[in-house]
Amino acid sequence: MVSPTRRRVLTTVVAMALAGSLTASSEAQPPTSGVQGASWWANAVLRRMSLEEKVGQLFVTYAYGSGADSRHPKNQAEFGVDTPAEVVRRYHLGGVIYFSWTDSLADPKQVAGLSNGLQRAALTSGAGVPLLISTDQEHGVVARFGPPATQFPGNMALGATRSPDVARKAARIAGAELRAVGVNQNYAPVADVNTNPANPVIGVRSFSSDPELAARMVAAQVRGYEGEGRPERGVSATVKHFPGHGDTNVDSHSGLPVIHHDREQWRRLDAPPFRAAIDQGADMIMSAHIVVPKLDDSQEPATVSRKVLTGILREELGFRGVVITDSLQMDAVRKRYPDAELAVRALEAGADQLLMPQNLRAAYDGVLAAVRDGRLSERRIDESVRRVLTMKYNRGITRHPFVDETAVDRKVGTREHLAAAQEIADRTTTALRNDDNLLPLRDKPGRVLVTGWGEATTTALAEKISARGPATTRLATGAKPNPKAIDEAVAAAGNHDLTVVLTSRAWDDAPQQELVRRLAESGRPVVAVAVRDPYDAAYVEQARTWLTTYSHSQAAMESLTKVLFGETSPRGKLPVTVPVPGKPDTARFPFGHGLSW
């Protein structure tokens, strides 16, 4: 009888052998590398695949469970099988995406084990093609893979450094840590240019409101994520959200945004980061669920617009990589079409992969039916599958589908990586106002109150201030503080030498604005800090000392504390213009603004 341990080892060996067998043929010897090698391998695999296996390569979805063979009731409810491995086998998936809510991201060793298990499932069934394994690790406000993985400031914070080298370094480290746990594709960087301060879904996920700065940072991150010439050390970058989601005040998760840029405005404002990414050889671009009537007068969302995905992205910009949709569960598109029709229309428009359909079975069967009925040709399916296979080959996934689970601790969240994240964060904190010359704190305060938004964030900042000596009190009031919470914070401020109040999206939160206003009018020293959108600082003129960190990470709070106590000078420069409320064309804090001391 074979022991479970030996069975796992044998399974891995068989899977690796299968992966290797796809690079050899009795008919011809493959080219060793490069474009010819990728093309040869993709075509050889494509010839072996059934239609069902080809269609499976076009789908990317999640599965529930911390291990490939973990049984989870939600898998049965959504996919008709019990385990993540069975989801992969049943639908011949091209890719899997990880979330914490699917139990996929508990800790690095668990993630590595899950990745290896899913790769074994893919390689020992069907066409034997390894998986794209992905997550959304933009950093900042969208970071699925938490500590001990290294957490970097988000894109707008990186934009405040003005340094493509910093952006590249953050992406290189982040990509290497993802690859160490078997994640070989990242849904980042965001290429949207945040020209609308009221944007509810992009904001600090964007590098800048300036197209050229955003383009430089996106290009640098593509290089960093994709391993800077060492594909097996990096991950496929996924540049999003084409044709540009920056100028909207509607969240496409819940509604359908309409952007009124004409073609010339689009070329000037939205296109530069995507052009830069294509020039750098980005593996993948994600479509946006937005309508741009002057790019396509059909009023169709870009995800199902042939004029946008094929006419503009493929033909005008010359993109030859993989086009993936944004999540097909989002209301912007799902309220428009049933799951099967939505999948078919996205492929007709020019998409290659379909992300997270609400009903995978309906979408999968719908694509199969469209081919069998002649609506989609098998040649059209082959075009997309060939692109997906080529990307897997070029990223080194076919040669290195598995990761060393014993080496994870030596590669993820290392001392060197954490130090790099702190060094980068120290370049991002931006001082917007210091009207009373309150900062840096020349005399160390005896008692400090930390209040405002965020239980974890106020706790982290209070701990870091306390470590410098002051007796520190934390009083979190959260988003939309009620009058009682505001009164308590103002009363507490009267008993402290300094109050630091944190805000997050206060530009859209009147109670947070009232909290800052009341504290500023209390007569006690107050430092207001926007730990997300810098736009908050324009909404409370009574606060005469304003900083922004663009991020509420531990590294950002350490950087903030250093600035407060004069250990470092604020080095960040605004990567966006902060307008006067109600006057979008009048700058309260202009692009590039940033005080220092």
- Placement of tokens 């509607």 in the chain: 250
Alpha-helical regions (H) of 210-282: 211-225, 263-265, 271-279
- Per the CB < 8 A criterion, the answer to whether 234 and 176 are in contact is yes
Token readout for 327 is 């999540």
Q: How far apart (Å, rounded) are the C-alpha atoms in residues 369 and 362?
A: 10
Closest to 235 (Cα-Cα) out of 274, 272, 181, 287: 181
Question: Which of these is catalytic: 192, 210, 283, 326?
Answer: 326
- Per the CB < 8 A criterion, the answer to whether 284 and 242 are in contact is no
- Per the CB < 8 A criterion, the answer to whether 572 and 157 are in contact is yes
Token readout for 78 is 């959504």
Determine phi and psi for 264, rounding to 5 degrees. Answer: -70, -40
**Residues linked to residue 61 through DSSP beta bridges, in sequence order:** 96
Q: How far apart (Å, rounded) are the C-alpha atoms in residues 143 and 153?
A: 10
Q: Which helix (H) or strand (E) holds 240?
A: strand 236-242
Closest to 556 (Cα-Cα) out of 279, 75, 264, 154: 154
Please return the burial class of 93, using the count of CB atoms within 10 Å of its CB with bins 0-12, 13-18 and 19+: buried
The radius of gyration of the chain's CA atoms, rounded to the nearest angstrom, is 25
Q: How far apart (Å, rounded) are the C-alpha atoms in residues 54 and 206?
A: 35
Q: How far apart (Å, rounded) are the C-alpha atoms in residues 173 and 440?
A: 32
Token readout for 81 is 């099988």
**Residue 326 is among the residues annotated as catalytic for this protein:** yes
β-pairing verdict for 526-530 and 583-589:
unpaired
Token readout for 249 is 């005040």
Closest to 276 (Cα-Cα) out of 179, 189, 206: 189
Task: Output helix, strand, coil percentages for the chain, rounded to the nearest 5.
Answer: 45, 15, 40
- Per the CB < 8 A criterion, the answer to whether 90 and 130 are in contact is no
- Residue 375 DSSP symbol: S
**Residue 593 is among the residues annotated as catalytic for this protein:** no
For residue 61, the SS3 value is: strand
- Per the CB < 8 A criterion, the answer to whether 578 and 538 are in contact is yes
Token readout for 29 is 């010897």
CA distances (Å), 296 to each of 32, 305, 343, in order?
A: 43, 7, 19
Q: How far apart (Å, rounded) are the C-alpha atoms in residues 450 and 499?
A: 6
Please return the burial class of 310, using the count of CB atoms within 10 Å of its CB with bins 0-12, 13-18 and 19+: middle
Token readout for 217 is 């940072």
Question: Which of these is catalytic: 69, 251, 253, 331?
Answer: 253
What are the catalytic residues? 253, 326
